[in-house]
Amino acid sequence: MKTDVENRLIWLDGKIVNIKDATVNVLAPTAQFGLNVFEGIRCYWNEEKEQLFAFRLDDHHKRLQRSIKLLQLDSPYSLSDLKNAFIDVVKANDYREDIAVRQTVFADGFGSWGSEGPVNMFVSPIPKAKSSAEYNKKSLRCCISSWRRISDSVLSPRIKCGANYINSRMAQREALRNGYDTTIFLNDAGKVAEGPGSCLFIVKNGILITPLLTDSVLESITRDTIIRIARDMGIETLERSIDRTELYTADEAFLCGSAMEITPVCSVDKYEITGGNRITNWIHNKYLNIVTGNDRMYLEWLTMISN
Ligand code: PMP
């Protein structure tokens, strides 16, 4: 049975409440200045095992703690508090389908953008199907954004905070206005960075290549997953800066992230990418096998959410 989305349960301030009662003060710094940090975490339902698995939960929570530290939020939450809140609310909703969970730690109260606290949290799950249903139909027509990716010296892309997505919004709206599906940012140095909500890989001559973590990208968990599984399978994988023109001549390219999983790119600035997606398809299938608990080699990445 599908969950009743309108009445789903949210964790807010230590309580599990109906979404209609999960409200935030309009004057809180999170509402006024986007002063919040968050994670987008996926759980996948395995029908055969009748089991819901959260993917790389501890790694998401560690990244959330790094974002909290960098923004100097006076957070009362330990790693186990973050995990317990997550598990409690997912269990409370009794899901038997794939879901996406937003876990946000935010500046509450009546302070300003300089306030350290008070700090609050919500955890909000929602059903979300895998991208695989759409995978064969969906290949993205991308442009290079005229907006540069935020940089570590201005607004670090390493911090997963709400305000960073204004840069993403500007670029995505420009792409849609101009008839593309989405966009790819260059960084301050003119090298390829990432998508507005995803990381990027290209394939050239059978080698998988992705920008460095110091090229203005989020420390993506999907990026890390792909590097690990590709290397385990003996696919040569490089982390290095990528030039814009390398995108135009790539054999394959794809965007990746917890939300979009692995989604192929079919063109960049109307230069077509026609190499056949052999490696992209392999990574996509492998990824879905892992996250659903069907690959025994990577079970350490999964947290069982049992009711
Ligand atoms: N870059 C940006 C800007 C993102 O918003 C995301 C999605 N969180 C990613 C990359 C991918 O990160 P992850 O694989 O951890 O979901």
User: Does one domain contain both 139 and 109?
Assistant: no
pLDDT of residue 135: 74
User: Does one domain contain both 24 and 54?
Assistant: yes
Q: Which residues contact 215 (CB under 8 A, 6 or more apart)?
A: 187, 189, 191, 192, 193, 241, 242
pLDDT of residue 133: 65
Domain count, the chain: 2
For residue 85, give Cα distances in angstroms to 70, 95, 273: 22, 16, 43
Whether 203 maps to a domain, the answer reads yes
User: Does one domain contain both 167 and 225?
Assistant: yes
Which SS3 state, helix, strand or coil, does residue 119 take? strand
Expressed in angstroms and rounded, the spacing between residue 216 Cα and the centre of ligand 1 is: 12
Around Cβ 74, how many Cβ atoms within 10 Å? 11
Identify the CATH number of the domain in which residue 240 sits. 3.20.10.10
User: Does one domain contain both 199 and 179?
Assistant: yes
Q: Ligand 1 within 6 A of 197 CB?
A: yes
- ipTM field: 0.99
Identify the CATH number of the domain in which residue 77 sits. 3.30.470.10
> 96, 129, 162: which is the final residue of a domain?
129
User: Does one domain contain both 56 and 171?
Assistant: no
**Which H/E stretch holds residue 109?**
none
Residue 246: phi, psi to the nearest 5?
Answer: -65, -30
Whether 63 maps to a domain, the answer reads yes
User: Does one domain contain both 48 and 174?
Assistant: no
User: Does one domain contain both 125 and 146?
Assistant: no
> 97, 112, 129: which is the final residue of a domain?
129
Q: Ligand 1 within 6 A of 40 CB?
A: yes
Q: Ligand 1 within 6 A of 222 CB?
A: yes
Please state the atom number of ligand 1 nearest to the C-alpha of residue 194. 1
pLDDT of residue 234: 95
Whether 298 maps to a domain, the answer reads no
Query: How far apart, in whole angstroms, are the C-alpha atoms of residue 230 and residue 206?
Result: 11
User: Does one domain contain both 110 and 188?
Assistant: no
Whether 301 maps to a domain, the answer reads no
**Mean pLDDT for each 10-residue chunk of the chain (307 residues)?**
81 97 96 97 96 98 98 98 98 96 98 94 96 78 98 97 98 98 98 98 98 98 98 96 98 97 97 95 96 97 91
Closest residue CA from atom 5 of ligand 1:
197
Place of tokens 């989305």: 5
User: Does one domain contain both 185 and 100?
Assistant: no
Expressed in angstroms and rounded, the spacing between residue 259 Cα and the centre of ligand 1 is: 8
Whether 299 maps to a domain, the answer reads no
pLDDT of residue 2: 56
User: Does one domain contain both 73 and 163?
Assistant: no
Q: Which domain holds residue 12?
A: 5-129
User: Does one domain contain both 263 and 153?
Assistant: yes
Burial of 137 (0-12, 13-18, 19+ CB in 10 A): exposed
Whether 304 maps to a domain, the answer reads no
User: Does one domain contain both 48 and 151?
Assistant: no
